[in-house]
Amino acid sequence: MTEAAQDLPPIEEVFNPHSADYLENPIPQCLALAQRGRLVWYAPWQAWIMTRMDDIMACWKTEPLSSDFYDWEFAPKRPPEEEWSNFERALIGHSLLADHDHHRLVRRVTAPAFSRNVVDKIQARIEPEIKKLFDALGTPEVFDYREEIAFHIPFISITRMVGIPEKYWPEIKQVITTFTETWNPTISDEQRESARQDSNRAIDIIKKVIDERRSAPEQDDFLSTLLRIEAENEGFEEGDIITLILALIGAGADTTLVAQQWSVYALLKNGRDQIAKALATPESFSNAFCEINRWGVSSKMGFARYAPRDMAFMGEHLRKGVMVLMMPHLKDHDPNYFDNPERFDVERVFEPDAMFGYGPRFCIGAALAKRQLYLSMTELFKRFPNVELAEEPERDAGDHNAVVFKRLLLKTNVS
């Protein structure tokens, strides 16, 4: 440790994502953490924090660390195969997280499922449902965007994208809100087990839907595409289909709710010219969302990885099972990365665009996520072209992984 670092206060005194100061303005704490070095020990989480973007991208690309939650030193014991439930069969037996070779196979054969053509077809399924949400809202003087619109979008997007019939919606709804808790390292064992049981019930439903779809005419949805890929590719099995659907649920549930809130808030805080530029095309919004995410700094933790063995890593000795958190958001207001980082500019250039990961771990559903955001933002500003914030929203300290709002009241200014 350098003499300068020794003179600094303990990192937990200047960085605490669960503090009121972080909730109101995370930027000073993020910059303070990044200044401590490339790999920083954070005792409250018993984890190392990776702070530099080039290191994070190299880790995504070469995968020296494990993505398997069961490799965490504090994880519950990995159950033997004879005791696996549907959840373990999907998340271990067909994991996108743990098995590098199988993950690459899945990414290669499923690329057609995320093509522009498929995204356009899925848009056609989602767009009418978003319009119905706004139809039901009507023209109130003031409404809570979080409660009336954003809260419903993940469920709409996932059921329509995947192609889950309406008769199963009541049963599948719970897992959409709890699935990411199944591997969250910060929650209680009881909460994680409850989410695991939700996932098992959801997998039972997904298996029913798959059985029904095998004998039904092909539809323009994600599941039909995956079933066609299964028929054409040896080594890609039903378990992989289930895992991919769970991955979409994980990526599209609480993450989508956060993205909805911050997209509305950031656009309304930064001027009508920015809104027009952002919503000009789906492609312009794709770039704009990178800026929304950068400007907002809504993340608290980042991406978890685990040391697969005792190992030397970035100049430190890691014990087997220790968590390493990759935090790309630490760079978002660093002038060494971005010119005028305090300025919101939806035309800012992102090279590379690593918001959804990088290399073999780039989020497979990134294009779908951005498209449903684009549809809902377009509909909001089409219905209410003069909409504005009714108040500065209060931040909600209860979310374990992101800075979110308790409510997001909007004035429609409808005459």
pLDDT at position 254 is 67
Q: Render the burial of 207-233: b for 16+ CB within 10 Å, e for the rest.
A: eebbeebeeeeeeebbbbbbbebbeee
Distance (Å, whole) CA 291 – CA 342? 11
pTM of the shown model: 0.86
Taking each helix axis from N to C terminus, what angle separates 222-232 and 238-252, rounded to the nearest 10 degrees? 150
- Encode pLDDT of 326-374 as tens digits: 999 999 999 999 999 999 999 998 887 766 666 666 666 677 778 889 9
CATH of the domain at 308: 1.10.630.10
Pairing of strands 409-411, 388-389: antiparallel
**SS3 label, residue 315:** coil
Higher pLDDT, 212 or 390: 390
Confidence of residue 4 (pLDDT cuts 50, 70, 90): very low
Name the pLDDT band for 264 (thresholds 50, 70, 90): very high
Q: Which two tokens stand for residue 410?
A: 């909007």
- Average pLDDT of 190-200? 84
**Does the pLDDT at position 223 exceed 70?**
yes
Around Cβ 73, how many Cβ atoms within 10 Å? 12
Q: In the chain, how many domains are there?
A: 1
Distance CA 41, CA 162 (A): 40
Alpha carbons 138 and 149: distance in angstroms, whole number = 12
CA–CA separation, 264 and 194 (whole Å): 32
Top-confidence range, 6-10, 103-107, 114-118, 184-188: 6-10
Name residues whose C-beta falls within 8 Å of residue 54's C-beta, 6 or more positions apart in sequence.
none
Give the mean model confidence (pLDDT) for residues 100-129. 75
Query: Distances from the Cα of 2 to the Cαs of 39, 51, 226, 280, 334, in angstroms?
Result: 14, 18, 53, 50, 22
**pLDDT tens for residues 125-179?**
889 989 999 999 999 999 999 999 998 887 887 787 778 888 887 778 777 667 7
For residue 258, pLDDT over 60 is answered with yes
And the tokens for 185? 């390292």
Q: What is the pLDDT of residues 283-317, one digit of tens each?
A: 999 999 999 999 999 988 888 999 999 999 999 99
Q: What average pLDDT does the segment 37-59 reach?
A: 95
Expressed as residue numbers, the domain containing 241 is 3-411
